[in-house]
Amino acid sequence: MLKSELMSIETSLKSRLQVLDDNSTFNAILKLNKIGETPDFEIDLSLTKGNTELRKLVLDLLSAIRNNELISFNYINSKGEESIKTTEPYRVVYKDRSWYLDAYCYSKEKFKIYKLASISNPSIIGTFSKREYQPLAYNGGGWRKIKFQLLF
């Protein structure tokens, strides 16, 4: 492996560590740190003190995904309507300065995308067997619709 490739991997791991602050990522960085060169590219995704709850939610969701844990949470949609969702979590995504959850929604009977900032009171309510899952597209298509009226 080239030094530039190792440095790219290290930079990616450092970004992950800033967000998740987990031991396995830290240990991987220590192993790669033997290169002795300063990376020429850095991504700073570290969370401010005010976003520690968001970090905890991301870590809790990752744990639920890895342990096939069924979760329930309160959710406020783009219309401001609150509901309780029961979901099978499959993936956490960071896109355009926001965190999202790909999950199978029991009430809608399909895979949905949930914005983490709109989730509150998550709880584990059981376990589930993973179903066939294809990662959802985050291409700006119909997954996040917000209606608004512009007045002149």
Q: What is the pLDDT of residues 120-152, one digit of tens each?
A: 999 999 999 999 998 888 876 555 555 667 787
Pick the CATH number of 49-127 from 2.30.30.100, 3.40.50.450, 2.30.110.10, 1.20.140.160: 2.30.30.100
Query: What's the average model confidence in pLDDT over 60-88?
Result: 94
Backbone angles phi, psi at 42, to 5 degrees: -140, 140
Q: Examine the pLDDT at 88 and tell me if it is beyond 80.
A: yes
Q: Is the pTM of this model over 0.85?
A: no
Instruction: Quote the pLDDT of residue 123.
Output: 96
Q: Identify the CA nearest to 22 among candidates 58, 53, 50.
A: 58
Q: Where in the sequence of the chain do the CATH 2.30.30.100 domains occur?
A: 49-127
The predicted pLDDT at position 10 comes to 74
Rg, C-alpha atoms of the chain: 18
For residue 102, pLDDT over 90 is answered with: yes
Q: pLDDT category, 23, cuts 50, 70, 90?
A: confident
Does residue 74 have a pLDDT over 80?
yes
Query: What proportion of the chain, given as a percentage, has pLDDT over 70?
Result: 74
Confidence check: pLDDT of 43 > 90: no
> Which residue in this structure is represented by tokens 């199978």?
104
- What are the contacts of 80-88 at 24+ separation with CB within 8 A? 83/107, 85/114, 86/125, 87/112, 87/114, 88/128, 88/130, 88/131
Q: What is the pLDDT of residue 146?
A: 56
The mean pLDDT value for 43-72 works out to: 81
When pLDDT is averaged across residues 92-109 and rounded to a whole number, the result is 90
Confidence bin at 48 (pLDDT 50/70/90):
low
Cβ–Cβ under 8 Å, residues 39 and 11: yes
